[in-house]
Amino acid sequence: MLKKYLLFDIDGTLINTGGAGLKAMRSTVESILENKDILTDYSFAGKTDAQIMHDMVRKSKFNDKLEEMSELLEQTYIENLKTNLKHSDNFRIYSTVNDLLDHYQKNEGYELALLTGNFQPGAKLKLEHAGLWKYFKWGVFGNLSEDRVHLAKDALKTIAKKEEGLNTKNIFIIGDTTNDIRCGKAIDATTIAFTAGFEPEEKLRTQNPDFMVSDFSQLYDIFNNN
């Protein structure tokens, strides 16, 4: 039986960390790179953690030590994230997420996975905090590349090994930014934009996602009938 593969982004799609992720990132880059203004006007939307770290180092006085400083930033960020998640009063899981993941995890015709810009340890910390990590069989994470398209192509390779005669439209990429849509289109997947508010709906529409939803309850019909 041919499966459908449901690949989820994390931040702004499954959960909102209540600022824990941003606080951890801000304290990390400002302290390690010794620059309090380095994040001014910088947008995190849809970017991989690898891209964010590299961008920050390139803007800093340590730009000749890209890999060394990026590794230090990653290690420090993960430690800061652990602390910030514990003290995040506004952390929340989006409405009906648990029910939907539970439903499709139990259905043999579907496979749940992650396609996220988060570093793998960061993704695990956030989703374990939410009680959602258990739902996902595998994932492609932000350690892989600066470019989210490379993550999608790696996910496609993983799925193609599982599924003979794969129809890429049976891969559903669910995210809340234009970069989520862009990476889905790069592998001819079915793209679903979740309007959590991280990027305006009108901006998401410019990328022509196959579907736009404001609540996960709308996904049942999409997954079942497409």
Q: Mind listing the pLDDT tens digit for each residue in 112-124?
A: 999 999 999 999 9
Q: Is the pLDDT of residue 1 over 70?
A: no
Binning pLDDT at 50, 70 and 90, where does residue 47 land? Answer: confident
Fold of 4-16+93-225: Rossmann fold (3.40.50)
Q: Is the pLDDT of residue 46 over 80?
A: no
For residue 53, the SS3 value is helix
Distance CA 157, CA 161 (A): 6
* Residue of 10, 16, 176, 21 whose CA lies nearest to 91: 16
pLDDT digits (tens, 9 = 90+) for 57-97: 999 999 999 999 999 999 999 999 999 999 999 999 999 99
Overall pTM surpassing 0.85 (yes/no): yes
The residue with tokens 């709906």 is 201
Give, as one character, the DSSP assignment of residue 92: E
Judge contact between 162 and 115, C-beta under 8 A.
Answer: no
Instruction: Map out the domains of the chain as residue ranges.
Output: 4-16+93-225, 20-86
Q: What integer is the mean pLDDT of 156-165?
A: 94
Q: What integer is the mean pLDDT of 185-211?
A: 93
Please state, rounded to an integer, the average pLDDT across all residues of the chain: 94
Exposure class string for 27-66: b at 16+ Cβ within 10 A, else e: bbbeebbebeebbeeeebebbbbbbbbbbbbebbebeeee
